[in-house]
């Protein structure tokens, strides 16, 4: 491979050419990515990303050009002017930075085109004039190749700036193609110097200088890469934190309703696949309103925090507890035998029956729990949660500090009453109810004895509730 390279490009050091090519390509990709990120920022941060992109690209172009010259053995007095090479570095960095800033400007409609043109001119000037006068004046190679090596980068730089703003991948590929063309043109332009010949000591000095330049440029390009990595990790951490906050109750630190729904769906799917059952416990803290009324919301928050911590400590592997809101919590567990279910119920029950001290006051807490099982009581997650809620409501109605299992024939009556109450409120707000008066007369005298007033309206849930209910439809006595 080395002999083939030497035959095609005699006088060049293949290792140094490879180093220069890698510097240019890596720097170009890094700069394109930095510029792509800068378009999503604003203010001073946007400007800093532009400058960092220009610093990376300018350093990559300059170092690759200088290493390419040294690969041709041009390290002597007739090879390149060191002073001119040093002056080319600030030119490359400044021009690249200004090109990126102009390309991302929002004030000019043609800003991407103008910025890309400036970037292409800067790159061409760096490669053509940076190493010194002998390259521009002493080259007598094929003019079409040289013109192609100069013209294509300009066109591709303009295209790259247009593409980077909306299509980062296409823009990066265009920039890479541009610098590859510049690399090819530079090799052709330095062919005369490579054929001139040089002593072994001169070539060793050129190699050492090239490696020094490459190492210094690698630090700058590496800084750009490090900035990309740090930015990506910072954004990933922020996104993870936002995701955690979105699924966490801020008061208790427990998962919230959204996290519960996601977890319950997964548990139901896994249970169906392996034949397990899923228990859902709905927990209502008894007399929580009284705690708030007596001790204020500070006391209520302290109770919720303490009970949330106890519930989190009570659950084991594969179990889950979340706060729905207010004084409502839900715990879920997959199980196979009755013993696992009873152990789970007992631990959750004990977690919410405690003594909480807040502000020098001891508050005894109790809770009403409702249990619903999958697939016995419901198949889908929303219905399972609703049935557990109904069972908890029945437990609270029967007496504080109890656990009730969902029973369709009893809990559906509660659901019917809730639906009827909701329909009555809606009918009342919509003026859908009317009063009907019925005169009652005495049979013996045919005189009016009383008047009966009835409230009439079309409420379908009332009829269905009377059919489902085993007790007369009347308001319970206080």
Is residue 363 helix, strand or coil?
A: strand
Q: How far apart are alpha carbons 78 and 320 in whole angstroms?
A: 77
Give the pLDDT confidence score for residue 40 in this predicted structure: 80
Computed from CA positions of residues 416, 422, 423, 428, in that sequence, does the dihedral angle turn out positive or negative? positive
Give the pLDDT of the chain (478 residues) as one tens digit per residue.
444 444 445 556 777 878 888 888 899 899 988 988 887 888 888 899 999 999 999 999 888 888 877 776 654 434 455 666 777 888 899 999 998 898 888 888 888 888 888 888 888 888 776 554 444 444 444 445 566 556 766 776 777 676 666 777 878 888 888 877 777 666 666 655 554 555 666 667 777 888 888 899 999 999 999 999 999 898 888 888 888 888 899 999 999 999 999 999 999 999 999 989 999 999 999 988 888 888 888 888 999 999 999 999 999 898 999 999 889 999 999 999 899 999 999 999 999 998 888 877 888 899 999 999 998 888 899 999 999 998 998 888 877 778 999 887 665 666 666 777 777 777 777 777 777 777 777 777 777 777 777 777 666 655 554 544 444 444 444 3
- Identify the sign of the CA torsion 223, 228, 229, 234: positive
Contact in structure between 348 and 274 (CB atoms under 8 Å): no
CA distance 456 to 424: 11
Pairing label, strands 367-374, 403-405: parallel
Q: Which DSSP helix (H) or strand (E) runs through 437? A: strand 434-441
Evaluate whether 231 touches 48 at the Cβ level (below 8 Å).
no
CATH architecture of 257-406: 2-Layer Sandwich (3.30)
Q: In what order do the strands lie in the sheet with 319-325?
A: 319-325, 328-335, 277-285, 367-374, 403-405
How far, in Å, are 91, 221, 232, 393, 444 from residue 54 at the CA level?
11, 11, 20, 66, 109
How far apart, in whole angstroms, are the C-alpha atoms of residue 12 and residue 2?
11
Residue boundaries of the structural domains of the chain: 2-242, 257-406, 428-478
145's tokens:
């190749």
Q: Tokens representing 117?
A: 């043109």
Note the pLDDT of residue 474: 45
∠ CA(93), CA(122), CA(160), 5° rounding? Answer: 100
* Residue 104: predicted pLDDT: 84
List, in sequence order, every residue forming a beta bridge with 319; answer none if it has no partner: 333
Dihedral angle sign, alpha carbons of residues 90, 92, 96, 99? positive
Q: Which residues pair with 369 in a beta bridge?
A: 283, 403
Nearest to 95 by CA among 125, 65, 132: 125
In this prediction, residue 254 carries a pLDDT of 93
d(CA 176, CA 273): 51
* Residues forming beta bridges with residue 325, ordered by sequence position: 328
pTM of this structure: 0.61
Length of the chain: 478
For residue 367, which phi and psi values (nearest 5 degrees)?
-145, 150
pLDDT at 342: 93
Query: Which region, left, alpha or beta, applies to residue 253 given φ > 0 means left and ψ of -120 to 50 means alpha?
Result: left
Is residue 283 a contact partner of residue 328, using CB atoms and an 8 Å limit? yes
Separation CA 63–CA 24 (nearest Å) = 8
Query: What is the reported pLDDT for 473?
Result: 42
319-330 burial by CB neighbour count: b if 16+ within 10 A, else e?
Answer: bbbbbbeebbbb
Question: Rounded to whole angstroms, how far apart are CA atoms 178 and 160?
Answer: 9
What pLDDT is stored for residue 313 in this prediction?
Answer: 94
**Token couple for 111:** 């800003």
User: Could you give the CA distance from residue 308 to residue 304 in angstroms, rounded to a whole number?
Assistant: 6
Separation of CA 275 from chain center:
34
Assigned token pair, 399: 């007496």
Q: What is the pLDDT of residue 469?
A: 47
């Amino acid at each position: 491979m080395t002999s083939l390279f030497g035959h095609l490009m005699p006088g060049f050091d293949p290792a140094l050419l490879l180093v220069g090519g890698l510097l240019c390509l890596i720097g170009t990709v890094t700069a394109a990515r930095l510029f792509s990120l800068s378009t999503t920022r604003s203010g001073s941060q946007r400007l800093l990303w532009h400058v960092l992109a220009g610093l990376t690209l300018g350093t990559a172009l300059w170092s690759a050009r200088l290493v390419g010259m040294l690969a041709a053995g041009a390290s002597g007095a007739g090879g390149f002017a060191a002073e001119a090479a040093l002056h080319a570095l600030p030119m490359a960095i400044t021009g690249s930075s200004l090109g990126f800033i102009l390309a991302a400007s929002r004030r000019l409609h043609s800003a991407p085109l103008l910025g890309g043109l400036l970037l292409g001119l800067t790159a061409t000037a760096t490669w053509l004039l940076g190493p010194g006068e002998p390259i521009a004046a002493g080259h007598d190679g094929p003019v079409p190749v040289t013109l192609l090596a100069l013209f294509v980068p300009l066109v591709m730089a303009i295209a790259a700036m247009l593409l980077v703003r909306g299509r980062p991948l296409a823009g990066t590929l265009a920039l890479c193609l541009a610098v590859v063309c510049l690399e090819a043109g530079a090799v052709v332009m330095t062919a005369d110097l490579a054929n001139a010949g040089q002593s072994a000591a001169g070539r060793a000095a050129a190699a050492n200088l090239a490696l020094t330049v490459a190492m210094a440029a690698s630090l700058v390009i590496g800084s750009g890469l490090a900035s990309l990595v740090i930015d990506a990790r910072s954004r990933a951490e922020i996104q993870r934190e936002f995701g955690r906050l979105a699924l966490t109750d801020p008061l208790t630190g427990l998962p919230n309703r959204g996290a519960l729904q996601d977890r319950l769906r997964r548990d139901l799917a896994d249970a169906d696949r392996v034949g397990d059952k899923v228990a859902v416990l709905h927990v209502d803290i008894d007399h929580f309103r009284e705690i708030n009324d007596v001790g204020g919301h500070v006391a209520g928050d302290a109770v919720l925090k303490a009970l949330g911590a106890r519930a989190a400590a009570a659950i084991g592997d594969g179990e889950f507890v979340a706060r729905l809101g207010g004084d409502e919590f839900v715990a879920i567990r997959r199980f196979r035998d009755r013993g696992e279910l009873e152990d789970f119920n007992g631990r959750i029950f004990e977690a919410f029956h405690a003594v909480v001290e807040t502000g020098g006051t001891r508050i005894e807490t109790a809770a009403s729990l409702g249990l619903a099982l999958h697939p016995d009581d419901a198949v889908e997650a929303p219905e399972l949660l609703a049935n557990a809620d109904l069972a908890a409501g029945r437990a609270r109605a029967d007496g504080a500090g109890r656990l009730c299992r969902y029973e369709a024939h009893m809990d559906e009556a509660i659901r019917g009453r809730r639906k009827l109450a909701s329909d009555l409120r809606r009918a009342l707000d919509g003026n859908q109810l009317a009063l009907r008066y019925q005169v009652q007369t005495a049979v013996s005298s045919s005189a009016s004895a009383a008047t009966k007033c009835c409230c009439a309206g079309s409420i379908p849930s009332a009829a269905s509730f009377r059919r489902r209910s085993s007790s007369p439809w009347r308001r319970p006595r206080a």
